[in-house]
Amino acid sequence: MHHAVPDFSTRETRETKETIETITPYRVAGNCKISIVSPEINQIDETNKTNQINQKNKNLESPMKALITGITGQDGSYLTEFLLSKGYEVHGLIRRSSSFNTQRIDHIYVDPHDPNPRLFLHHGDLSDSGQLMNLIYNIKPDEIYHLGAQSHVRVSFDIPEYTGDITALGTTRLLEALRRSGVKAKLYQASSSEMFGAAPSPQSETSPFLPRSPYAAAKVYAYWMVRNYREGYRSFASNGILFNHESPRRGETFVTRKITRALANMLGGNQKRLYLGNLNAKRDWGFAPEYLEAMWRILQQEEPDDYVIGTGESHSVKEFVDHAFSYAGIEITWKGQGVEEKGIVKGASSRWDPTLKPGDVLIEIDPRYFRPTEVESLQADITKARQHLGWEPRTTFEELVKIMVDYDMKLAGLEPGGEGIAISLNKGFAYTNHDYSFYEKIREGC
């Protein structure tokens, strides 16, 4: 059926247009705890449940409303917990998928019988302008956190056109939906340190953008669209230029999580070898839960602006490997050059005997993980964020590694060292316990 996108550009038309979304909280099969708001385009909303929900919220002292794209991702999941802990009503855009893609947020309980659920999920896609328009118009969020993207740099070389469509044009679709709807929401754009590419370290807000991948080029385009809408239409739209940030919820094909998952699998006797690409690339790796606090602060400023967020420290992939294995009681020595370089066990705690022993080759290079063009070194200069946002990183590189190793050991059914879990729980992230994929916990009894 054909659906004409309504014009919401004036207040009069907004009041008189038919409501184009039917809100039906229902349960995801096998999941008791999340309210999904199902869009049914082209139906007149007889019962006008949107308005009922909005009215209910007003009665609850009008909580702040946030719309998050990318809510099922690493950052989106932490941000949701953070905003819920601040009393926000949170709406998230999720993609229809034939398998579950909500592992990172399944644990955030919203009983469908609860009269006041505060987390709502809406099907949609960043390629679908109509639904973006619907959501913004119907939800009328105070803040939009635009985190959705094809976010994998290596993959962006395989699917450059799709990456441009979602990561670059997705931002334009959202900015345009916001402008045309007339909704006065503040927008956060998830810009990236990858935009600096070949620019010398340390990189600040004034460093040049020299992107080295389709992903980075797409993010540069989105960055400039945000600035363009800010200048041209006075939109409250800000860029957070975030350096790499990791966590127990990091996607499993990003290098840090790939390493800590492989380590836990090896300790459990379930993986023999870890294949990596460029061991010498350096990144400024921080702890993700701190970074979404920076996102929130960026939107609490009186004026929209752009900020670099990172730790100010840079470490190589090899250093990450060394620290992770060393924390688990395994000393790695490196032998060979280039694609022949190998990580070999030099010494291992007796706890891992006989699974891992000196002389075992654990890490090898697979050139398929090399990138056609690589970003060799990233290191943030966060002077502006310190001064304007009062934001500081609180977790060191060594602590981050311990946190990730502990949680992956736990996930693999091994007794973790415990230092990392203690660090993550004692750093003031009271709103999260880093839950992830605990299907058995939340699906029982459904």
- Active centre residues (catalytic): 192, 194, 215
In eight-state DSSP terms, residue 377 is: B
Binding residues vs ligand F7E (CB under 6 A): 151, 153-154, 192-194, 243-244, 253-255, 258, 276-278, 281, 283, 317, 369, 371, 374
d(CA 379, CA 107) in angstroms, rounded, equals 34
Among 190, 218, 279, 380, binds ligand NAP (CB under 6 A): 190
Q: Where are the beta strands (DSSP E) in 179-310?
A: 186-192, 237-242, 245-246, 274-276, 282-283, 286-287, 306-309
Give the contact letters, 34-73, x = binds to ligand NAP (CB under 6 A), - = no: -----------------------------------xxxxx
Cβ closest to ligand NAP, residue 138 vs residue 247 = 247
* In contact, 375 and 219? CB cutoff 8 Å: no
- Pick one of ligand F7E, ligand NAP, none as the site partner of residue 277 (Cβ within 5 to 8 A by kind): ligand F7E
Smallest gap from residue 328 Cβ to ligand F7E (A): 19
Which amino acid makes up residue 76?
G
Cβ closest to ligand F7E, residue 157 vs residue 180 = 157
Which residues are registered as beta bridge partners of 238? 188
Smallest gap from residue 201 Cβ to ligand NAP (A): 16
d(CA 411, CA 262) in angstroms, rounded, equals 12
> How many CA atoms are closer than 13 Å to the CA of 281, on its beta-carbon side?
19
192 binds ligand NAP, rule: CB under 6 A: yes
Q: Which residue is nearest to ligand NAP (CB)?
A: 73
What is the three-class DSSP state of 361? strand
Q: Cα-atom radius of gyration of the chain, to the nearest Å? A: 23
245 binds ligand NAP, rule: CB under 6 A: yes
Smallest gap from residue 223 Cβ to ligand F7E (A): 12
Smallest gap from residue 2 Cβ to ligand NAP (A): 23
Among 174, 242, 321, 375, binds ligand NAP (CB under 6 A): 242
| Residue the block writes with tokens 């990791």 | 246
- Pick one of ligand NAP, ligand F7E, none as the site partner of residue 169 (Cβ within 5 to 8 A by kind): none
Among 45, 125, 305, 364, binds ligand NAP (CB under 6 A): 125
Smallest gap from residue 375 Cβ to ligand F7E (A): 6
* In contact, 423 and 314? CB cutoff 8 Å: no
Burial 363-401 (b: 16+ CB within 10 A, else e): bebeeeeeeeebbebbbbbbebbeeebebebbbebbbbb
Smallest gap from residue 98 Cβ to ligand NAP (A): 11
Which residues are registered as beta bridge partners of 344? 333, 361
Which tokens is 395 given?
Answer: 């977790």
Q: Which residue is nearest to ligand F7E (CB)?
A: 281
Smallest gap from residue 104 Cβ to ligand NAP (A): 8
Cβ closest to ligand F7E, residue 35 vs residue 278 = 278
Residues 6 or more apart in contact with residue 96 via CB below 8 angstroms: 123, 125
- Pick one of ligand NAP, ligand F7E, none as the site partner of residue 386 (Cβ within 5 to 8 A by kind): none
Give the contact letters, 93-112, x = binds to ligand NAP (CB under 6 A), - = no: x-x-x---x-----------
Q: How far out from the chain centre does Cα 31 lie? A: 22
- Pick one of ligand NAP, ligand F7E, none as the site partner of residue 230 (Cβ within 5 to 8 A by kind): none
> How many CA atoms are closer than 13 Å to the CA of 299, on its beta-carbon side?
26
Which amino acid makes up residue 378?
L
Among 130, 182, 251, 312, binds ligand NAP (CB under 6 A): 251
